[in-house]
Structure 1
Amino acid sequence: MAWLRKVIERLATGSSALALRMARGLVEWVKEGAGVTDFLIRLVFLAIPVIVVWSLLAATTSVMWVLVIIWCVAAWRAVQPAQRPNAEKEPDLHPEDLAELLWELAGDRKGVHLAQVAQQLTRETHGRSWSIPDVKALLKAAGVPTRHSVRVAGLGVAVGVHRQDIPGSPSPAPSSPARSGVDAQVIPATATPATPYVRDLGGGARATFTPDPTNPVRTNVAVTKQEIEK
C-alpha cells in the first residue's frame, strides 16, 4: 500500500499548492480594481460562478464527481516529481569549435540556418538530439547573434546566422605545392636597349625616332634641320 500512500500525499500536497495559488491570484486580481466601483464589480464576477456551481451541485451529484476529477488532475499536475541530477550532461560546445562549425556549414554562402546546425550537431553528438531552440540557446551563450531571415543558396530563407555575424574568419584553403619541388620565382621585367632610327624628311630636315625604354608603345621623335650650303 506504499503506492497508495504516495498518491494520497501527492494529491494533498498538490491540493494545498493549487488552493494557495488560486487564492493569491484572486486576491491580486481583486486588488487591481481602481476605485470602490471596480472592486465591487470584480466581487460580483467572482460570486456568479460560485452561485452557478452551487446550483448545479444542488440539482445533481454527477457534477460534483466531474469537479472532483478535474480538481484531482489539477492537483496531481501541480506537484512535479523530483528530477534526478543528470551527471552525464554533456558540456556545451566551445565557442571556437562552434565558430569553426558555422564557417564549415556556411562555406561561400551568405550564412547558415539553425536547422543545419542542429542536424550537424545531432550527427556529431551521439545519443543527443539537437533542436533549433537548443542551437539558439547555444549561440546566445556564445554571444553569436541570430537573424530571422537568412538566405542560403538551395535552402531558401529561414532563421539562421549571417556570415557577417560569425566570429573569426574561415580557415584558409591549403596551398598547392610547387611543381617538381622548385619554388616559383618572379622575374622582374627589364628594359631592352632602345635603338633609334633616322628618317630623312627632305629639305635638310631629319627625324630621329627613339623608342621609349619604359613604355613600349611610346616613341620619342626629334626633328633637326641642317642648312644647305649654296
Structure 2
Amino acid sequence: MTHTDTEPTEHTDTDQPTNALAAWLWPGEWREALARWVLTIIAIAIGATALYIHPWLRWTLGAATVLALTLAAARRRAEQAEDQEPQGQTDNEEDEDPPTPGPAEITDIVTELGHGTGVLLTRIRMQLLEEYQGCAGWTTKDVRALLAEAGVRVREGVRVTGVGNGPGVHREDIPAPLSPAPATTLVGVVGAGQDANTNTNNATVVRHAGGAHITVTPPRQTTP
C-alpha cells in the first residue's frame, strides 16, 4: 500500500487561533496526526470528567475563557490602531505644507526693500528665506520666476549703492507702494509698574472709542 503525504495548507495571519488549531490537528504526516488526535481525545475526556466531578471548575474555566477572549480582543484592537496610525500621520504631514509667497507678497517685499534704491535678487532671496519656511532651498532663479509672475521687471545689471551690482530690480521698476492708510493719532500706553519707553521699534497702540488695538509691525532691513 502506497502512502502519499499531503502538503500542509498555508494559512494567513488573519485568524491566528484557527491556524494554530489546524497546525496541531494536521502537522502534515498521518502517524503524528493520529497520535495528536488520540492525545486530544484523552485530554477532552479527562477535562469533562473533572468538570463533572468538581462543579467549581466550571466557574474557573468560564472566568479564564472570558479573560482570554477579552485580552485577545484588546490585543487585536491595539494592532489595528498601530496599523492605521502611520497612515493618518502621513496624510496630516502631506496636508500641512509650509507657506510660500505669492505675487502680492513678493511685490510688497520688493517695494519695501528697493524703494528709491533698487534691490538685488540675492537680497530678495535672503528676505524670503527669513520670512517663509517654504522657500528653503530657493535660488535666485526661483526669485526671478516669482517676480516674472508678479509682473516685476528684472534687469541683469542693477547697481545698489553700498551693496554692489548684479541681477535685480532697478529703482525705476520698483512697484509703487500702496496708498497710505488714513492718519490716526497714536497714543503710547504704559502699563502699571512699567517705565516709559520711547523706542520706535516697539508695538504701537492705536486708541479707538471701543478700546485699544495693538499692532506690531517690525520694519524689514533694507541693507543686506
Q: Same fold (TM over 0.5)?
A: no
TM-score computed with the length of structure 1 as normaliser: 0.34
Considering Cα pairs closer than 8 Å and 6+ residues apart, tell me whether 1 or 2 has the greater RCO.
2
TM-score computed with the length of structure 2 as normaliser: 0.35
Larger radius of gyration: 1
Going by fraction, where is strand more abundant, 1 or 2?
1
